[in-house]
């Protein structure tokens, strides 16, 4: 068969390992492991390694875990240009170097992408590699003779970033979903419930699925845990097989403590001919696909993987074959559901005689970080060369069954074939999704769950449920041992639970009574004293002072909670008609979030009602005046904007300074400021952190009045007195009608809006008193009724 000279072909693969308990342990770095694997791939091509290295025009590196997240650490140091460090080690000087996004889909995705680049003529020879030295780092980090893996490599780098968008959220992290086992456990438990299996039946199935994997790993010289285990041993908790996240004990969890590397060498047919690569060494990519699943909590069926299945099916379709035509199969196997969900969709049985892994799988061969599937590709290439004309499938998964890249390989020559992944992705994206309740309150039912187990015996229950009221999905942590017990035995899925939202997140209990017992409702009224806030009551006026001058009146969780409690009491007290909020001292009204406290690593949260109990409060039925003395920075400016009125002294400065510390004004500043000041001014303030003086703020409409220095509170009291002169009922109704009509664009529609506030006002004692006092030519005596 005469092929297009740009037809891409895999010509060499290599693997490396460096187990710390082996006699020949070499203490290799991630760069060192990848370099060994890359050198093996060059030699595996059958051509002169030096000539091949000189011909490489593109290198692409898979991210190690230590460079996969913003907060990841490298205790022994790391290269500042991983792809070029590896290239230098094998004598290559490529024009292009790529550092791929994080995720286990990366190896197959890079092979597909670079094969396409070769087919298009923009590359001739490309090397893909990845590695992890996690085991070595943990083994040597505390030793005096620890090596230094820091390395500088010159040259351009196409760093594609972490690629974490959609893979996690603050909401998930706040509810214990920052680790892979707990998130995958939710999926496996959802699948179990859909299949109608008991815990025991499903555990037996997971054991039966993974027991053959251990037999493969036991024979693999690169496996991190080459030990054959029975199905029962895999799923039975023991001292060595401790529970991690139900339904997983440790033996079913991907093993990341590995020292492994792998590489694959691709080139055009013309380059292979020129460099002398034997025809027997050439393996062609017959089919491929790359698809992405919806974000975790948006998926209609948490026990299925439609995007992964669609990618696998489409790769086979592009190759022109069916599942039965495959000789080898390697399904990404970080957790049981990653295998079973795809196997379900392809009609593969757990005991398929071909096997579902070539390496031994992530829990037994080893996770190798994001690079596992490059080992699967290497094994596939070797198997296909030994059986010319056969087909091998590699399924590579990233995230929480989030990103799936599939490849179909064979030694049978074939020209490059394009896929329709973009069209399929559009179809998937147009499918149904699930509405979420970020803050959830009321009765609900358990949709799926897990119980996370700490080493000291601590347990944390995580629930995904549906609200009875509207069917929205919620995420919550359990409260109380009885709720944990519910999740730990029998069938919790479908069980009725009670959920309530707090500043720290949503919590579930077995009943409303139990929730009230664990979280008694706040006592009505104001306390006599608070730790971080001063309160002064003067008739119908409430003065609230943030009392943290040493921290520029910035707010940490405890101060926020006190303010939230105080404003709850204020809005509920019929004898309090106006509130003033200010800051202690003369330096700052509030510097917003306490960044020093945040940097301490202590738990951070804000109340449901936002900073100071105001910025996210949906209903503010009575006026709040901000008396701004000094700086109102970041969250402090957002608090001031959340108030109905602002009085500033001459020293006041207003700014949304979050961009200066790598944050955004997410507590209302990005929304309220452009609606308050001219858009051009708002944009400049938001993007640069520009500070407005009191007079500038007055001119732009951000504040109502400016006083002399140090007189903001007096000015606020004067404004409050003017409000108190009017009917408190009229004030409340006015605020209500303004809120009700704010989103109505047509003026007449807004004017004629049938607000119930008007009926309430006309039936009020204050309305009668106002008219009567006017007729009698006396001052009214308001009662707020």
The CA-atom distances, in angstroms, between 333 and each of 171, 512, 522 are: 27, 40, 48
d(CA 318, CA 295): 27
What's the pLDDT score for residue 1?
62
pLDDT tens readout for residues 239-269? 999 999 999 999 999 999 999 999 999 999 9
Q: How many CA atoms lie within 13 A of 182 on its CB side?
A: 20
Average pLDDT, stretch 463-469?
A: 98
Look at residue 178 and tell me if it is in a domain: no
State the average pLDDT over residues 464-486. Answer: 96
Last residue of a domain, one of 406, 429, 452: 429
Q: Please state, in angstroms and rounded to a whole number, the distance separating the CA atoms of residues 436 and 292.
A: 20
Place of tokens 């909590």: 297
Q: How far apart are CA 527 and CA 537, in angstroms?
A: 12
| Residues 611, 712 within the same domain | yes
DSSP-based three-state secondary structure for 137? helix
Calculate mean pLDDT across residues 104-115.
Answer: 98
Number of C-beta neighbours around residue 146 at 10 A: 16
| Contact between residue 245 and residue 177 where contact means Cβ atoms under 8 Å apart | no
Mean pLDDT score, 49-58:
98
Indicate if 317 belongs to the active site.
no
Q: Tell me, yes or no, whether 716 and 738 share the same domain.
A: no
Query: Given a cut of 90, is residue 758 above it in pLDDT?
Result: no
When pLDDT is cut at 50, 70 and 90, the band that residue 662 belongs to is confident
* Most distant pair of Cα atoms in the chain: their distance: 110
Query: Is 392 in the same domain as 459?
Result: no
Backbone angles phi, psi at 79, to 5 degrees: -75, 145
Give yes or no for a contact between 357 and 333, defined as CB atoms under 8 angstroms apart.
Answer: yes
Closest listed residue to residue 228, CA positions, set 219, 239, 238: 219
Q: What is the pLDDT of residue 164?
A: 85
Considering the domain architecture, whether residues 514 and 540 belong to the same structural domain is answered as no
DSSP 504: T
Nearest alpha carbon to residue 144 among 76, 79, 78: 76
Main-chain phi, psi angles of 309, to 5 degrees: -65, -45
Q: Mark whether 37 and 157 lie in a shared domain.
A: yes
Provide the token pair at 549.
């001058």
Nearest to 594 by CA among 608, 577, 580, 606: 606
Q: Residue 284 domain-assigned?
A: yes
**Average pLDDT over every residue of 569-594:** 95
**Edge-to-edge order in the sheet of strand 692-693:** 588-590, 631-633, 653-655, 692-693
CATH number of domain containing 505: 2.40.50.840
What distance in Å separates the CA atoms of residue 215 and residue 279, rounded to the nearest whole number? 33
What's the pLDDT at 601? 78
pLDDT at 29 (0 to 100) = 97
140: CB partners within 8 A, 6+ apart:
27, 76, 146, 147
CA dist list (Å): 351 to 247, 329, 626: 21, 12, 69
Beta-strand pair 496-502/505-509: antiparallel
Residue 767 forms part of a structural domain:
yes
- 621 Cβ contact partners less than 8 Å away, ≥ 6 residues apart: 571, 732, 735, 736
- Shared-domain flag, residues 12 and 132: yes
Q: Which helix (DSSP H) or strand (DSSP E) does residue 649 occupy?
A: strand 645-649
Segment 770-783, tens digit of pLDDT: 889 899 999 999 99
Residues 734 and 717 placed together within one structural domain of the fold: no
d(CA 531, CA 173): 29
Q: What is the CATH number for 555?
A: 3.90.226.10
Decide: helix, strand or coil at residue 354: coil
List the single range of 40-44, 173-177, 495-499 with lowest mean pLDDT: 173-177
Three-state secondary-structure class, residue 453: strand
Alpha-carbon distance 621 to 224, whole Å? 63
703 and 718 within one domain: yes
Q: Is the pLDDT of residue 352 over 80?
A: yes
User: What's the pLDDT band for 462 if we cut at 50, 70, 90?
Assistant: very high
The predicted structure's pLDDT at residue 682: 94
* Local structure of residue 589 (DSSP, 8 states): E
Residue 751 Ramachandran class (φ > 0 left, ψ -120 to 50 alpha, else beta): alpha
Residue 183 counted as domain residue: no
Answer whether residue 695 is part of any domain.
Answer: yes
Contact 262, 10 (CB under 8 A): no
Any idea what the CATH number is for the domain that residue 21 is in? 3.40.47.10
At 424, list the tokens: 């399929």
Q: Judge whether 131 and 33 are in contact, CB under 8 Å.
A: yes
The structural domain count of the chain equals 4
Q: Residue 178 CB: number of other CB atoms within 10 A?
A: 11
Question: Is residue 298 assigned to a domain?
Answer: yes
- Portion of the chain with pLDDT greater than 70, in percent: 100
Same domain as 634, residue 543: yes
| Mean pLDDT, range 468-474, rounded to an integer | 97
DSSP states along 103-115: STTHHHHHHHHHH
- Among residues 40, 113, 561, 658, which one is catalytic? 658
Q: What is the rounded distance in angstroms from the CA atom of residue 597 to the CA atom of residue 574? A: 36
Examine the fold and report which residue of 461, 495, 518 is the final residue of a domain before the chain moves on: 518
Provide the domain limits for residue 760: 728-776
Is residue 47 domain-resident?
yes
Place 757 in a pLDDT band, splitting at 50, 70 and 90.
confident
Q: Are residue 720 and residue 734 in the same domain, yes or no?
A: no
Cβ–Cβ < 8 Å for 501, 608:
yes
Residue 590 lies in a domain: yes
* Predicted local distance difference test score (pLDDT) of residue 518: 94
The pLDDT, as a whole number, for residue 770 is 85
As a whole number of angstroms, the distance between CA 224 and CA 576 comes to 68
Cα–Cα dist 99/79, whole Å = 12
Alpha helices in 320-411 (DSSP H): 336-346, 372-386
Q: Compute the average pLDDT of residues 715-734.
A: 93
276 pLDDT above the threshold of 90: yes
658 is catalytic: yes
Taking alpha carbons only, the member of 427, 433, 428, 387 closest to residue 410 is 387
CA-closest candidate to residue 425, choices 288, 291, 315, 289: 291
Instruction: Return the higher-pLDDT residue of 690 and 759.
Output: 690
Q: Are residues 538 and 391 in the same domain?
A: no
426-458 pLDDT per residue, tens: 999 999 999 999 999 999 999 999 999 998 888
Residue 729 and residue 43: Cα distance in Å, rounded? 86
pLDDT of residue 604: 83
Of the residues 398, 429, 460, which one is the last residue of a structural domain? 429
Catalytic site residue from 197, 513, 638, 760: 638
Nearest to 620 by CA among 648, 669, 581, 655: 581
Residues 6+ apart with CB under 8 A from 749: none
| Other beta carbons within 10 Å of 208 | 16
Same domain, 685 and 539: yes
């Amino acid at each position: 068969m005469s092929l297009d000279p740009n037809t891409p072909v895999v010509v060499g693969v290599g693997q490396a390992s460096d187990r710390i308990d082996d006699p020949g342990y070499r203490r290799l770095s991630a760069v060192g492991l990848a370099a060994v694997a890359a050198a093996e791939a060059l030699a595996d091509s059958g051509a002169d390694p030096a000539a091949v290295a000189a011909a490489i025009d593109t290198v692409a590196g898979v991210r190690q875990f230590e460079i996969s997240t913003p907060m990841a650490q490298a205790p022994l140091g790391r290269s500042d240009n991983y792809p070029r460090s590896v290239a230098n080690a094998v004598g290559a000087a490529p024009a292009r170097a790529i550092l791929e996004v994080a995720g286990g889909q990366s190896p197959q995705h890079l092979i597909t992408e670079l094969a396409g680049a070769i087919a298009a003529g923009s590359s001739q020879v490309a090397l893909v590699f990845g590695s992890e030295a996690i085991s070595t780092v943990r083994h040597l980090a505390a030793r005096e003779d620890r090596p230094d893996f820091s390395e500088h490599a010159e040259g351009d780098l196409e760093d594609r970033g972490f690629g974490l968008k959609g893979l996690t959220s603050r909401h998930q992290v706040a509810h214990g979903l920052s680790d892979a086992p707990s998130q995958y456990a939710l999926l496996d438990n959802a699948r179990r419930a859909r299949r109608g299996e008991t815990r025991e039946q499903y555990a037996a199935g997971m054991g039966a699925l993974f027991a053959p994997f251990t037999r493969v790993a036991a024979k693999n010289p690169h496996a991190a845990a080459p030990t054959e285990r029975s199905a029962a041993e895999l799923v039975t908790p023991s001292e060595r097989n401790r529970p991690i996240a139900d339904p997983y004990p440790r033996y079913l969890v991907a093993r990341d403590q590995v020292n492994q590397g792998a590489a694959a060498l691709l080139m055009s047919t013309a380059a292979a001919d020129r460099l002398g690569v034997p025809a027997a060494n050439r393996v062609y990519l017959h089919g491929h696909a790359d698809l992405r699943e919806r974000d975790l909590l948006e998926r209609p069926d948490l026990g299925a993987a439609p995007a992964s299945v669609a990618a696998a099916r489409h790769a086979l379709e592009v190759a022109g074959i069916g599942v039965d035509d495959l000789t080898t199969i390697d399904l990404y196997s970080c957790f049981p559901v990653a295998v079973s969900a795809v196997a379900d969709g392809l009609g593969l049985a757990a005991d398929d005689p071909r096997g579902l892994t070539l390496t031994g799988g992530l829990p037994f061969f080893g996770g190798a970080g994001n690079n596992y599937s490059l080992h699967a590709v290497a094994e596939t290439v070797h198997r296909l060369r030994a059986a010319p004309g056969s087909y091998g499938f590699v399924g590579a998964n990233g995230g929480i069954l989030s990103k799936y890249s599939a490849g179909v390989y064979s030694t049978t020559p074939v020209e490059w074939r394009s896929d329709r992944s973009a069209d399929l992705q559009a179809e998937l994206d147009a499918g149904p999704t699930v509405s979420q309740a970020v803050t959830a309150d009321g009765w609900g039912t358990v949709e799926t769950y897990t119980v996370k187990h700490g080493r000291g015996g601590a347990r944390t229950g995580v629930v995904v449920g549906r609200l009875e009221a509207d069917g929205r999905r919620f995420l919550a942590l359990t409260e109380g041992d009885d709720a944990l017990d519910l999740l730990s035995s029998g069938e919790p899925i479908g069980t009725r639970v009670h959920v309530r939202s707090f500043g720290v997140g949503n919590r579930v209990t077995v009943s409303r009574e139990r929730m009230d017992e664990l979280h008694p409702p706040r006592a009505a009224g104001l306390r006599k004293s608070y730790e971080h806030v001063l309160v002064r009551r003067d008739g119908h006026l409430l003065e609230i002072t943030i009392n943290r001058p040493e921290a520029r009146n910035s707010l940490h969780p405890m101060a926020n909670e006190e303010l939230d409690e105080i404003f709850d009491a204020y809005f509920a007290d019929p004898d309090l008609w106006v509130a003033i909020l200010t800051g202690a001292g003369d330096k700052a009204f509030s510097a917003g979030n306490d960044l020093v406290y945040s940097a301490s690593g202590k738990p951070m949260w804000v109340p449901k009602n936002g900073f100071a109990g105001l910025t996210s409060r949906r209903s503010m039925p009575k006026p709040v005046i901000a008396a701004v003395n000094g700086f109102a920075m970041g969250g402090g400016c957002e608090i001031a904007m959340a108030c109905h009125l602002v009085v500033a002294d001459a020293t006041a400065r207003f700014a949304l300074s979050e961009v200066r510390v790598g944050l955004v004004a997410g507590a209302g500043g990005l929304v309220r400021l452009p609606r308050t000041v001219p858009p051009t001014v708002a944009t400049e303030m938001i993007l640069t952190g520009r500070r407005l003086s009191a007079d500038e703020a007055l001119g732009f409409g951000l504040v109502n009045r400016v006083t002399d220095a140090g007189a903001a509170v007096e000015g606020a009291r004067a404004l409050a007195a003017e409000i108190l002169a009017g009917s408190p009922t009229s004030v409340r109704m006015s605020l209500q009608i303004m809120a009700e009509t704010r989103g109505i664009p047509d003026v007449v529609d807004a004017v004629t809006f049938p607000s119930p506030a008007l009926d309430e006002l006309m039936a009020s004692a204050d309305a009668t008193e106002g008219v009567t006092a006017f007729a009698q030519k006396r001052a009214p005596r308001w009662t707020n009724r």
